[in-house]
Amino acid sequence: VGLEMLAEVKSIVGELPLVAIGGITENNLGAVLTAGADSAAIIGDVLSNPYEIEAKVRRLLAIASDPAY
């Protein structure tokens, strides 16, 4: 639905947790969190390279843990 719609939904649901699902990658996770998602379900990006799953998850966790989001 896009980042603008995500922000609009967050303004409607207020303090209820909002989980973003679909199309989320390491490259756009920060923008998704900034738009209002409290968390994100990320499958495709994590499994895109089976030899790099641990490294990918560590990078995603670092982004999600960044106080800027």
Task: Note the pLDDT tens digit of each residue in 18-33.
Answer: 999 999 999 999 999 9
pLDDT band at 1 (very low <50, low <70, confident <90, very high): confident
Per the CB < 8 A criterion, the answer to whether 68 and 43 are in contact is: no
**Alpha helix stretches (DSSP H) within 1-52:** 3-13, 29-35, 44-47
Amino acid 63: pLDDT: 97
Report CA-CA distances (Å) from 18 to 8, 47, 56: 11, 23, 23
Beta-bridged to residue 19, according to DSSP, are 39
The DSSP output letter for 41 is: E
Average pLDDT across the chain, whole number: 96
